[in-house]
């Protein structure tokens, strides 16, 4: 039922646009809980069945199959809830990296109620490619190290992920320029998500 779904804000945008950075900052603010599906994937044991399947696709710049993505995500969010790291009655869930195509959006709707989508935008693809390569060196991300793989990810984003925005009502989508300073981008995101958080908590208190 809708009342049992996780109240969520989606961080949306192309690779390298800063979803993870902004999500991590938001996750440090009381009342927000950030979950990055990319981080969940990278935390998998590479020798486990799930780890092998995720690596097989991510190392080529392709999307992980929908069933695998949803299963791993749901298992993770349920565990975080059981352990009380994420408290659905207190925290607004900030999701980064899901859904990545329309079918995932349809499947995950059973589990989340999307209250807002923050669409981080950057018109300079080359700047984002450069940002990803710097991040790969800094964080030892194997899947981000090769330029041909990075560019494949952009192609997949344009063909499969960006159309997800059309699945949701336009009134839920807030456009935010991603190419300011991290503090400036955060400020603009907060202007959109704080009212959602306020409404969320008022709803829970009724």
- The predicted-structure confidence for 187-206, as pLDDT tens digits, reads as follows 999 999 999 999 876 544 43
pLDDT (tens digit, 9 = 90+) per residue, 37-83?
Answer: 999 999 999 999 999 999 999 888 899 999 999 999 999 999 999 99
Q: What is the mean pLDDT of the segment spanning 152-163?
A: 92
Q: Give domain status of residue 60, yes or no.
A: yes
Helix axes 182-205, 19-27, angle to 10 degrees: 50
Q: Give domain status of residue 206, yes or no.
A: no
Alpha carbons 91 and 87: distance in angstroms, whole number:
6
Q: Domain with 54 in it: what CATH number? A: 3.40.50.300
Alpha carbons 133 and 138: distance in angstroms, whole number:
9
CB-based contact 12:19 (threshold 8 Å): yes
pLDDT at 142: 60
Q: Give domain status of residue 88, yes or no.
A: yes
In 10 A of CB 72, how many CB atoms? 21
> Domain total for the chain?
1
Alpha carbons 9 and 35: distance in angstroms, whole number:
11
Please compute, for residue 44, the number of CA atoms within 13 A of its CA located in the half-sphere on the CB side: 23
For residue 146, give the nearest of 160, 132, 156 by alpha carbon: 132
**pTM for the structure as a whole:** 0.86
Q: Give domain status of residue 139, yes or no.
A: yes
For residue 27, give the nearest of 106, 82, 96 by alpha carbon: 96
CB-based contact 116:137 (threshold 8 Å): no
CB-based contact 88:143 (threshold 8 Å): no
pLDDT at 140: 64
Whether residue 99 is preceded by a cis peptide bond, meaning omega within 30 degrees of 0, is: yes
Please compute, for residue 38, the number of CA atoms within 13 A of its CA located in the half-sphere on the CB side: 22
pLDDT at 205: 42
Structural domain that includes position 17 = 2-201
Q: Give domain status of residue 84, yes or no.
A: yes
Q: Is residue 3 predicted with pLDDT exceeding 80?
A: no
Q: Give domain status of residue 114, yes or no.
A: yes
């Amino acid at each position: 039922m809708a009342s049992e779904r996780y109240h969520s804000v989606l961080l949306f945008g192309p690779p390298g646009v800063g979803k993870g950075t902004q999500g991590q900052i938001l996750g440090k603010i009381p009342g927000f809980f950030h979950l990055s599906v990319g981080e969940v994937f990278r935390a998998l044991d590479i020798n486990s069945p799930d780890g092998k399947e995720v690596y097989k696709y991510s190392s080529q710049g392709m999307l992980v199959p929908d069933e695998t993505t949803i299963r791993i995500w749901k298992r993770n969010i349920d565990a975080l809830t059981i352990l009380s790291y994420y408290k659905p009655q207190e925290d607004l869930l900030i999701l980064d990296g899901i859904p990545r195509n329309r079918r995932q959006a349809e499947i995950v709707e059973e589990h989340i109620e999307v209250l807002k989508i923050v669409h981080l935008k950057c018109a300079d693809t080359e700047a984002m490619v450069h940002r990803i390569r710097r991040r790969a060196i800094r964080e030892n991300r194997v899947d981000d190290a090769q330029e041909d793989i990075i560019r494949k990810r952009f192609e997949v984003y344009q063909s499969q992920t960006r159309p997800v925005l059309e699945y949701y009502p336009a009134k839920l989508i807030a456009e935010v320029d991603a190419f300011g300073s991290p503090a400036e981008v955060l400020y603009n995101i907060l202007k959109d998500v704080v009212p959602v958080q306020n409404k969320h908590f008022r709803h829970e208190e009724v």
